[in-house]
Amino acid sequence: MNRNEEYKALRESLEQTPPQLIDTVDRALKKKTASQRRIRIFGVPVGSLAACFLAFMLLVNLFPPFARACGGVPVLRDLAKAVAWSPSLSAAVEDEFVQPVGQEQSKNGVTARVEYLIVDRKQVNIFYTLTGDTTRILEADAEISGAYERDLEGFSSSSASYGTPNGELRQVEVNFVEQDVPDALTLTLRVYESNWDADGLNIEAPTEETREDTYFAPHAHNPNYLAEFTFEQSFDSWFTAQGEMVAVNQIFQIDGQTLTLKAAEIYPTHLRLDFGYAPTNTAWLTGLEFYVENEKGERFDPVTNGISASGEENSPSMVTYWMDTTYFSDSKVLTLHITQARWLEKDRETIGLNLETGDHDPLPDGVKLVSIQHLEQGYLLTFQEKQYREGWMYSMWNGYLDATGTAESFTSSGSSYSYQDPDTGEYLDGSEQGCFYETVPLPAPQAAEVQLKPVFTHVANFTTPVMVSIK
């Protein structure tokens, strides 16, 4: 049906409420605060074609969801595709919780266009495209700063859009922990050409490097930038006010430790669970497997791409866990189900390893030392580690203490489902065992004895989930 046919059908049925409008109004009514910002149109007389046209134009211009419903053109289809990996952002798009932008800049044959924002009180998602006069895939280093030269603190930003074809939506995610999202921020994009063409072929032959180079040689990121763009992003205050804080304050026991579920922060882009810990606990909680279920049996899972947990100063504990949002589900009852807890025992915050003999203190649950490779530039330690979530590889080690007791971080690490011993040629495949292999470097010189810092040491699984009422 073309636009003229759509208009004719709408004109003929204008005396009745269009089904599309019914759906739109129902969605609007579900949002408790929607009436504060949306314009309602009542009592438009239907006495002539001019009146019909006026009513149509008012609805289209003043009620964008109605325009999309009547037009039958899924203008957010590209955005829905870009966020298909995220149940929370998918729900936001379906519920039209999207702020259109449409800012575009061109320079040196490159065009950057900011298309949409999905923003609430604690998170900003910026969606943009890159196009240009090149056969290579364009990439951008994204930087977030305070808008209009103002300082911006207490946030983290990330982008997982590497390899996105030119013209398709890319995403920058900005998260605020302590403070709320400001009314504006600045996005800077520094654009460069990658080594890949549109067909996924590497145009430039990769530089050969040894296993030693991979882990010990510095890998500087100094691309030849084609263009730099700066976009000032201002946020609709209605979006940045959205969220619900549920005070829970529920004390419960789990694996012999005492925890408190203090609060649930429910935002349109995600849900945060805030925990407290009894000082008498013998271990720090550093990881959880869990889900939340509502009274309708709908299940909401932890975030699998992006921030999954955040901690606090002076403690290894993760105090806030991030998950898919329940904001759009109209849930009256929410229950937390904990299926696994990972603990860092307070008397095992470091694990001793002798680099010469391979002797070591008891390793964390599910971890096995596979090899210690002695190289001119240092040591490569490889561990077999158990997956605690299907298809999930993680980092087991937080770093190490050097001979003086100074805490150091690993400059790099590598994980794979398989491992081939460079000395013996033995090939190991952990995929059938639910394992993977992690390699970390220790630069020379090192004392014979090193103290490794694990993320966790003990894992508790619960066949019957530990249940905690949220609301």
Q: State pLDDT tens for residues 4-50.
A: 344 344 444 443 444 443 443 344 333 333 333 332 233 334 444 44
Task: Burial-class residue 89 by CB neighbours within 10 Å (0-12, 13-18, 19+).
Answer: buried
Helices (H) and strands (E) in the chain, counts: 8, 27
Q: What angle do CA 101, 107, 113 make, to 5 degrees?
A: 20
What's the pLDDT tens digit per position in 438-450?
A: 999 999 999 999 9
- Confirm whether 78-201+213-239 and 243-343+460-469 share one CATH topology: yes
Confidence at residue 109, expressed as pLDDT on a 0 to 100 scale = 95
Summarize the confidence of residues 136-148 as an average pLDDT. 91
Q: Which of 322, 302, 319, 314 is nearest to 261 (CA)?
A: 319
Kindly state which CATH superfamily the domain 243-343+460-469 is placed in. Answer: Conserved domain protein. (2.60.40.1640)
Cβ distance 96 to 27 under 8 Å?
A: yes
pLDDT confidence band for 210 (50 / 70 / 90): confident
What's the pLDDT tens digit per position in 179-195?
A: 999 999 999 999 999 88
Helix (H) or strand (E) holding 121: none
More confident residue, 253 or 306: 253
CA 361/CA 363 separation, integer angstroms? 6
- The tokens for 9 are 């059908």
Task: Burial-class residue 461 by CB neighbours within 10 Å (0-12, 13-18, 19+).
Answer: exposed
Q: What angle do CA 423, 424, 429 make, to 5 degrees?
A: 110
Cβ distance 470 to 336 under 8 Å?
A: yes
Contacts of 384 (CB under 8 A, 6+ apart): 367, 368, 370, 419, 428, 430, 435, 436, 437
Mention the CATH class of domain 78-201+213-239: mainly beta
What's the pLDDT tens digit per position in 340-350?
A: 999 999 999 99
Give the residue extent of every domain in the chain. 3-73, 78-201+213-239, 243-343+460-469, 366-455
Residues linked to residue 461 through DSSP beta bridges, in sequence order: 340
Percent of the chain whose pLDDT exceeds 90: 62
pLDDT confidence band for 75 (50 / 70 / 90): low
Could you please report the per-residue DSSP string of 63-90? -HHHHHHHH---TTHHHHHHTTT-HHHH
What's the pLDDT tens digit per position in 107-123?
A: 999 999 999 999 999 99
52: left (phi over 0), alpha (psi -120 to 50) or beta: alpha
**Residue 70 pLDDT greater than 50, yes or no:** no
CA 246/CA 471 separation, integer angstroms? 8
More confident residue, 198 or 272: 272
What's the pLDDT tens digit per position in 377-427?
A: 999 999 999 999 888 889 999 999 988 889 999 988 899 999 988 888 889
CA 97/CA 93 separation, integer angstroms? 6
* Cβ atoms within 10 Å, residue 214: 14
Cα–Cα distances (Å) from 447 to 351, 356, 397, in that order, read 15, 10, 19
Q: Which of 456, 450, 457 is nearest to 353 (CA)?
A: 450
Q: Which of 397, 404, 385, 416 is nearest to 455 (CA)?
A: 397
Cα–Cα distances (Å) from 352 to 101, 196, 355, 393, in that order, read 54, 44, 10, 24
**Residue 366 pLDDT greater than 70, yes or no:** yes
pLDDT confidence band for 161 (50 / 70 / 90): confident
pLDDT confidence band for 52 (50 / 70 / 90): very low
